[in-house]
Chain A
Amino acid sequence: MSFVSDFNSLPLDVLVKKSMATGSSAARAALEKTKVSLADFAALISPAAGELLEVMSRKAHTMTQQRFGKTIRLFAPLYLSNECVNNCSYCGFSRDNPILRVTLSLDEVQREANELNAQGFRNLLLVAGEHPKFVSNHYLRDCVARLHAEWPSISLEVGPMETEEYRPIVAAGADGLVVYQETYDRAVYDQMHTAGPKKNFDWRLETPERAYTAGFRRLGIGALYGLADWRFEALSLAAHADYLLRHCWKAQLTISLPRLRPCAGEFEPLTLLRDRDLAQLICAFRLMFPDVGIVLSTREMPKLRDGLIPLGVTMMSAGARTEPGGYTGAGREKIHHTERGIIKEIAAGSSEWVPQDKRPTNATGQFDIGDERTPQEIATLIRRLGYEPVWKDWDTALTA
């Protein structure tokens, strides 16, 4: 029993067609609903509902403040490793990309975390490529155990694992797991994931359920926009969220709406989600899920981020770096190439060692950041918009 069987029987293509054909009165009717079904959601993401974006935004804004108050939760990603065994056409960390790689040692992770702590962050997201050799579950457990005392909330965004592999990580003090399906379109998924364990669509789709069984209490899901039709992705994500809310009822669910950013490999997006569509999506998700957290990352540009905050966003990253060692330069002397799982040292004096763009490390990032403002600048902005930036809203006593 998992979401896979439900997912397989969903009439997604029909719903996308219905969405495209929604008339303005049907869009208005969906907007009036107090309980939004998947069919209503299809109407809310329709071109017709796009014409009602101002009304939708007001409703989403009110609902979000009602449920979450005038607060925005802040978090920071900490990249542990950019090693990866997968080939994903859209990702800078892809196995065959000849990028500069590194996996941080525990001391180096600590150094990066200390810097984020000094900036104010108390919610941490540990991110790593999928590599059983460099990023084992023991390594992740050790990272969490090392950081637990200082970090009230630690989430992970790493390669999917078995339930039993997750348990020691939870016991060490992690409380959240984030896993994006990337695309819910099986054909596109196959096309994008050409090598590595990530090829298995169903295994990835079931990850949040395994994480929940292992004891994670925050689950994050999402699709990466720019691969398949965005309405198809959004409907799938909505169905997935609905399933998880019913079956993983003790978990706090968050959804993210990341759009493809430029990265190593120079992959061109296959589809387009416009700014306006993104705003509509955030509103539609809020209307269907009043209690679900909505995450907005630094992938997006400052002006857009500022505008999206009041629509339904509850969680933001700030000042993020997507390369291991990006905050302090930790591990910069260990950068190397990796070929078939073997580390290839870089010759002394090679151009790869020359510092670039004033960055503290030459390790390659996963993607380019759109909003480079500092955490303090973001906090000031949040206050100016009439919200309190919340750094700490969890306690180690709840995760020990």
Chain B
Amino acid sequence: MSFANQPLLIAGRAFSSRLILGTGKFSSPEAMRSALAASGTGMVTVALRRADLTGKKDPFANILEFIDPQKYLLLPNTSGAMNAEEAVRLARLAVAAGLPKWVKLEIHPDPRYLLPDPIETFKAAEILVKEGFIVLPYINADPVLAKRLQEVGCATVMPLGSPIGSNRGLQTRDQIRIIIEQATVPVIVDAGIGAPSHAAEAMELGADAVLVNTAIAVAQDPDRMGIAFKLAVEAGRSAFESGLGAQSETASATSPLTAFLD
């Protein structure tokens, strides 16, 4: 018996894996490359501040050399930007440096919890979409903001499950459920996914993909953790596509109250 989950479609491009990986926090670029391969991902995000955007092939900022653009869509992110202006400037520089015209828009002025600034994110999204970027904005799990970003033409929305790197799972579950219910673009749960079970939970809820970084990068064996997430994402998606049974707070009576009508 075989089955295949539906591919993930973003801006007309199909991805067989619904797991997206971040590239920070690994013990070495080699460890990162190996974990990417193990996870089966097709899309990886890189902080532009870690990369060399001058075209000088800086050997001390060579993270991009460890990511094969034939195997992965390289998704530049604007981490470090505190406002729309900085994010837009970074995104433009990335394109000028020959990177794909895709951007994971991250604007978090607070360096502690790295929570996204909705106002600046919205402003930057408007500008970048107009300039022809495929924009994937990182947002708090705010359904109205998600709708507004879809209206201006973002290719996905990326609500957080809990703060970046916190491994606390889907603390925003109820809001994410509304975002998914109302979505016209893929919903990618980004941040806070600390265990494969969290990833499976997001996929079962109907999220189109999840983005994972810390949980894999900081694991003792990042390759095996990458595989664990791959399996969890596939399982969660399969469950969603096969139609999960509804959950109930109470047991269902075997003798229904309306039996007398039969």
The interface of chain A, by Cβ under 8 A from chain B, is: 65-71, 120-122, 152, 217, 245, 249-253, 291, 383, 386-388, 390-395, 397-398, 400
Contact = CB atoms under 8 A, between A and B. Distances in A.
B254 to A, nearest CB: 45
B28 A250 contact: no
B58 interface: yes
For this complex, into which size category does the number of interface residues on chain B fall? 20 to 34
A393 B218 contact: no
A400 B51 CA distance: 17
Given A217-B82, A395-B48, A65 B112 contact: no
Interface of B: 24-29, 47-53, 58-61, 80-82, 86, 89-90, 93, 109-113, 165, 167, 214, 217-218
A383 B30 CA distance: 11
B93 A250 contact: no
B50 A397 contact: no
8 contacts: A65-B218, A70-B26, A250-B111, A387-B27, A388-B29, A393-B47, A397-B48, A397-B89
Contact of B165 (A67, A217, A390): A67
B27 A70 contact: yes
Please give me the 8 A-B residue pairs with the lowest Cβ-Cβ distance, nearest first.
Answer: A69-B25, A70-B27, A392-B61, A391-B60, A252-B111, A120-B60, A291-B112, A395-B49
Contact of B110 (A68, A250, A395): A250
Nearest to A62: B218
Contact of B214 (A66, A251, A391): A66
Nearest to B58: A392
Contact of A291 (B47, B60, B111, B214): B111
**Most chain A beta-carbon neighbours within 10 Å: one of B27, B59, B90, B165:** B27
A395 B112 CA distance: 20
A122 B218 contact: no
A3 to B, nearest CB: 18
B50 A66 contact: no
Nearest to A153: B49
A148 to B, nearest CB: 13
Contact of B82 (A121, A250, A386, A388): A250
Contact of A398 (B24, B28, B80, B111): B80
A245 B49 CA distance: 23
Contacts of B109: 249-250
Contacts of B165: 66-67
B154 to A, nearest CB: 22
A388 B110 CA distance: 25
A291 B115 CA distance: 13
Contacts of B47: 393
Contacts of B26: 69-71, 388
A395 B60 contact: no
Contact of A391 (B29, B61, B90): B61
A392 B218 contact: no
Contacts, number: 87
A366 B218 CA distance: 38
A72 to B, nearest CB: 10
Given A69-B214, A120-B60, 6 more contacts: A122-B61, A217-B82, A249-B109, A394-B80, A395-B49, A398-B89
A391 B27 CA distance: 14
A382 to B, nearest CB: 10
A66 B218 CA distance: 7
Given A250-B109, A388-B29, A398-B80, A70 B217 contact: yes
A395 B28 contact: no
A69 B24 CA distance: 7
Contact of A70 (B48, B81, B82, B218): B218
Contacts of A122: 58, 60-61
Contacts of A69: 24-26, 214, 217-218
Nearest to A251: B111
A400 B167 contact: no
A398 B49 contact: yes
Contacts of B28: 383, 388
A253 B218 CA distance: 23
A307 B29 CA distance: 23
A345 B216 CA distance: 61
B75 to A, nearest CB: 17
Nearest to B89: A397
Contacts of A394: 49, 80
Nearest to A67: B165
A376 to B, nearest CB: 11
Nearest to B81: A398
Contacts of A387: 27
A288 B90 CA distance: 33
Given A388-B27, A392-B58, A400 B89 contact: yes
A292 to B, nearest CB: 8
Contacts of B25: 65, 68-71
A325 to B, nearest CB: 24
Nearest to B88: A397
Contacts of A398: 49, 80-82, 86, 89-90
B30 to A, nearest CB: 10
A390 B109 CA distance: 22
A383 B60 CA distance: 14
A359 B165 CA distance: 45
Nearest to B92: A397
A397 B51 CA distance: 12
A245 B112 contact: yes
A109 to B, nearest CB: 20
A392 B52 contact: yes
**Most chain B beta-carbon neighbours within 10 Å: one of A68, A69, A121, A390:** A69
Nearest to A150: B54
B90 A397 contact: yes
A386 B28 CA distance: 8
A400 B27 CA distance: 30
A260 B26 CA distance: 34
